[in-house]
Amino acid sequence: MTDQFRQLDEIFAQILQGASAAGRTRTARSIGKSLRASQQRRIRSQRNPDGSPFTKRRRRVLRTQQGLVFEWNGETRHLKNWRHGIGRHGKTITGFDEDRGAIRTFYRADVERWIEINTRRATRTEQRPEPMFRRLRTYRYLKMSADASGATVGYDGIAGRIARIHQYGQCDEARPGVVVSYPARILLGFTQADEAAITEAVISSLSGRQK
């Protein structure tokens, strides 16, 4: 892909040497907009430039611990996926409070009565159904710039770092102490249709048909 970019750069640099700076900028901007739109459509369709589909996400294995039911402060509370801990004032239990819809921590000494203690663990797998890179394909992150020397479509900052990891199939720390190797999913690249569109845009600008 890098060789294709270099060859096109060399060819169009020679062709455009005689054009004005303003004309080159207009052509570059037209090409940049077209190329960015093409990248967005392809990422939305979850495909690499060669037409192959992106590697699907790995299925996640979720392990949960079954629930606790107890009386606390005169209320019956239901806690799932719980664990033991130590707080400033003594032993604690932390888990998802189904009555409040949030993660909560209780001191064991404050529990007035244990109603049910279920220590069984459940395991299930899931695969997120939504498309990948929804944010990276937006105008906010997929940037385009153009001037008389050419057009650039790509990412910068944190978005650039994330895109680079997926573009080249690199490793990254998913969470503290856990390093994940990601398969290559090529976010930026030329398709045959892109090459044809760029050629047409340059020819149109030189023939005076570009508006």
Q: Which tens digits make up the pLDDT trace of 42-74?
A: 999 999 999 999 999 887 665 666 788 999 999
Q: Which residue has the tokens 């020679």?
A: 14
Highest mean pLDDT among 2-11, 108-117, 202-211: 108-117
Measured between alpha carbons, how far is 182 from 179 in angstroms, rounded to an integer? 10
Strands (E), the chain: 60-65, 68-72, 75-87, 90-97, 102-107, 111-117, 121-126, 143-147, 150-154, 171-175, 178-181
Phi, psi dihedrals of residue 3, rounded to the nearest 5°:
-65, -35
Residues in the chain: 211
pTM for this one? 0.62
Measured between alpha carbons, how far is 94 from 107 in angstroms, rounded to an integer? 9
Looking at residue 169, its pLDDT comes to: 96
User: What average pLDDT does this structure show over 138-158?
Assistant: 94
Higher pLDDT, 1 or 143: 143
By percentage, how much of the chain surpasses pLDDT 90?
49
User: What average pLDDT does this structure show over 70-80?
Assistant: 91
Q: Which residue has the tokens 């509370």?
A: 77
Helix (H) or strand (E) holding 22: helix 21-44
Q: Is the Cβ–Cβ distance between 87 and 105 less than 8 Å?
A: yes
Q: Is the Cβ–Cβ distance between 34 and 197 less than 8 Å?
A: yes
Measured between alpha carbons, how far is 4 from 49 in angstroms, rounded to an integer? 13
Looking at residue 210, its pLDDT comes to: 43
The band of 211, judged by pLDDT with boundaries at 50, 70 and 90, is very low
Lowest mean pLDDT among 71-75, 159-163, 197-201: 197-201
Tokens for 19? Answer: 């054009």
Q: Is the Cβ–Cβ distance between 96 and 79 less than 8 Å?
A: yes
